[in-house]
Structure 1
Amino acid sequence: MKPRASAGAIVSLISLPVAMLFAWPAVAQKPKPKESYPRNVELCSGRERAPLDARIGGCTALIDAAQDMTTTGLAIAYNNRGNAYAAQGDYDRAIQDFDRSIELNPTYTKPFNNRGVAYFRKHEYELATAAFDQAIKLNPNYGQAFANRAEAYLKTNDYAHAAQDYDQAIRLEPNLEGLWNGRCWSRAILGALQAALEDCNKALQSGSANAATYDSRGLIYLKTGQFGAAIDDYSAALRIDPKLASALYGRGLAKLKQGDKAGGDGDISAAKAIQGSIGDDFARYGVQ
């Protein structure tokens, strides 16, 4: 997969950041009253914007007092601590906590989604997809899980399934960040160019556009022979992300089509210096 800004929601996922990873913290249920419990609940729930170590400490205190908590509350504490570990980049510990949360409450959807985000961050996309599958099976209206699974499909070049998941995510939660851009990119690759253009324009109109949006629309213009418009969009993408290999390569192709051999060769060389396989990617996208 080319090194391009996330098409959709995870990255900010899983920027993703899992933010991205699109891990949604939940509020821990308050157990039997004890002097320290309210404070630990506040920390574990993330309501105070406390440092991650403090959030982890609050959740750990609740987990250590497991005998005083309901099973549901304990599952939430594990899920929330997993979110904090993921935010620190400690995805293995995060996954362990999400696993424990699921063991305690197999019908709790958030740890399935959050586990998928953690696997996504580890670049284990098949495991991520499987986790999102489970979240969606439990809750067929889980728009964020559809959006996250679409991102995982993009990473494995499964654009058809990605587009289908973006359809579902947009139907359920059309205001989630990155959805219109993600579907634009998927449709552009698949050749549904007019529909893709409408999605990219929607992203731009909503104010959620980023370098990937201009990069996606640049590909549409490149495929439809609108080389000047393609150069404009690729240049806009590069002003946001100067190292975006796909935008450099696409702009180079558009310049060559306009007869600018020096400019085109320069962009293509710069793109290959960032990602040597970028030409193979564009061949897969249907552009030589």
Structure 2
Amino acid sequence: MTIRAAIIASVAAVLVLLSIGSPAVAQQPQKKSHLQNIEQCNGADTIPAQVRIAGCTALINSGDARPEALALAYNNRGNAYAAAAEYDRAISDFDRAIELASGYVKAVNNRGVAYLRKGAYEDAVKSFDEAIRLNPAYGSAFANRAEARLKLNQYDRAALDFDEAIRLDPNLTWAWSGRCWTRAIIGDLQAGLVDCDRVIRSGSSDAATYDSRALIHLKMGQFAAAIDDYNSALRLAPNLASALYGRGLARLRQGDGAGGNRDVSAAKLIDLKIADAFARYGVK
């Protein structure tokens, strides 16, 4: 079975790969536990990370898995470790999955995401570079690399990656939102507004998109509209420092000194460097 097939296969197909032996062996009492481990390891994000980790670990240690299925188990456990913010363990598992199945592009991309969440942005970019080399049509890898480049303040390069991600996968809503934010930063305001409006019209309830559109309104001098969008962002994410700080600036520019200073102070308590970030965005 190919790696792609192993990744997208149903639990029933994975059972074939993880067969515990002959029909006689399959009828033993251990079968129920084995099936449970498979279900846990292949579980969705709704299953607690530690439960998924336990299921994948049992499969990895069983000695029964074929290489493709073992690579899948390491990849799934890596995703669970990443969900639990255990990024070094996640990266180690993704490395092992890649060793077992050369060209396993999902694991390469997932390793990049773990590096990104860990704050190792250069390593993240390298992983996404490799994922894109393996599959040049992988829209999510381009969008993920854009996110890493945003963290490195490489805004123009991030914009190009979001362009490619959207070209490859127009339904990648978070890429439209990310491009809106990037365009807000680099000053391509009208185009950014179109991106954010598209995401919001789609019904997405995402604080980041409202925060991005608010920054555009702020830079356009449309302070009332900026405050409305910052309010929407803060209803969804009350401790979002960029929304608090941006709303504070908009209030100050409307003449609301008390409210503006209160928001700015609250934002700085959450993120001491938020003023520096806004200076990079072209807002002081």
TM-score interval w.r.t. the shorter chain? 0.7 to 0.9
Equivalent residue runs for 1:73-92 within 5 Å = 73-92=69-88
Cα gap change, 1:268 to 1:109, in 2 (>3 Å)? same
Q: Say yes or no: does 1:30 pair with 2:27.
A: no
- For the pair shown, the structure with the greater C-alpha radius of gyration is 2
In the TM superposition, what whole-angstrom CA distance separates every residue of 1:256-278 from its partner, at most 9, and x where no partner exists? 22233333233223322332322
Q: How far did 1:47 drift?
A: 6.7
Q: Report the Cα distance in structure 1 between the residues aligned to 2:100 and 2:177, rounded to whole angstroms.
A: 37
1:56 aligns with 2:53: yes
- CA distance in 1 between counterparts of 2:50 and 2:281 reads 44
SS in structure 2 at match of 1:249: helix
The DSSP-based 3-state class of the residue aligned with 2:17 is coil
Q: 1 CA distance for matches of 2:60 and 2:270? A: 46
Deviates more, 1:45-54 or 1:75-84: 45-54
Residue equivalent to 1:18: none
Contact 2:71/2:100 (CA < 8 Å) preserved in 1?
yes
What TM-score do you get using the length of structure 1 for normalisation? 0.82
Q: Does 1:191 align with 2:187?
A: yes
Q: Extract unaligned runs of 5+ from structure 1.
A: 1-24
* 1:90-131 CA distance string (max 9 Å, x none): 222221111111111121111101111111221111111111
1:26·1:45 contact (CA, 8 Å) conserved in 2?
no
User: Residues 151 and 162 of structure 1 are in contact (CA less than 8 Å); yes or no, is this contact kept in structure 2?
Assistant: yes
- More helix, by proportion: 2
Tell me if 1:269 matches 2:271.
no
Unaligned ranges ≥5, structure 2:
1-6
CA contact (8 A) 1:163 1:187 kept: yes
Structure 1 position 46 matched with structure 2 position 43 = yes
Q: 1:107 to 1:263 in 2, by over 3 A?
A: same
SS of 1:117's equivalent in the other structure is helix
Specify whether residues 84 and 287 from structure 1 end up closer, same or farther in structure 2 by C-alpha distance, changes over 3 A only. closer
The residue aligned with 1:11 is none
Quick check: 1:93 aligned with 2:89? Answer: yes
Aligned with 2:102: secondary structure? coil
For these two proteins, the number of residue pairs brought into alignment is 264
Q: After TM superposition, give the deviation of residue 184 of structure 1 in Å.
A: 0.4
For residues 132 and 271 of structure 2, the distance between their equivalents in structure 1, rounded to whole angstroms, comes to 35
Cα offset for 1:179?
Answer: 1.8
Deviations 1:216-272 (A, max 9, x none): 111111111112211221222222223222222222222222233333233223322
Alignment of 1:194-209 (within 5 A): 194-209=190-205
Deviations 1:165-186 (A, max 9, x none): 2112212222234222111000
In the alignment, is residue 71 of structure 1 matched against residue 58 of structure 2?
no
- The residue type paired with residue 76 of structure 1 is L
